[in-house]
Amino acid sequence: DTKLTNLFLRVDYPTGFEYKSSDRKPAEKNNLWEIGDLESGKEGLIQIFGIVNDSIGGVSNFGASVGSRSGDDILSLDETTSALALRLPHLGVEILPNGEREKYIASAGEEVSFLVEWKNNLPEIMENASLEVVFSGDAIDFSSVRVRDGSFILKDKKIIWNPSSYKDFSSVLPGSSGFTGFSFKIKKDISLHNIAKNPVLRVQASFKPGKSVPGFEEVGVLGEDEIEIPISSVIQFSQK
DSSP string, 184-203: EEE-SS---SSTTS--EEEE
Phi-psi region of 41 (alpha: psi -120 to 50; beta: other; left: phi over 0): left
* pLDDT number for residue 225: 94
* pLDDT number for residue 234: 53
* pLDDT number for residue 62: 94
Instruction: Specify the pTM.
Output: 0.67
Paired residues of 12 in beta bridges: 63
Q: Which residues contact 27 (CB under 8 A, 6 or more apart)?
A: 8, 33, 34
Q: Are 22 and 46 in contact (CB under 8 A)?
A: yes
**Nearest Cα to Cα of residue 161 among 181, 141, 175:** 181
* pLDDT number for residue 236: 44
CA dist., res. 65 & res. 74, Å (int): 8
Spans of the chain below 70 pLDDT: 1, 55-57, 190-198, 218, 233-240
* pLDDT number for residue 238: 43
* pLDDT number for residue 196: 39
Paired residues of 153 in beta bridges: 158
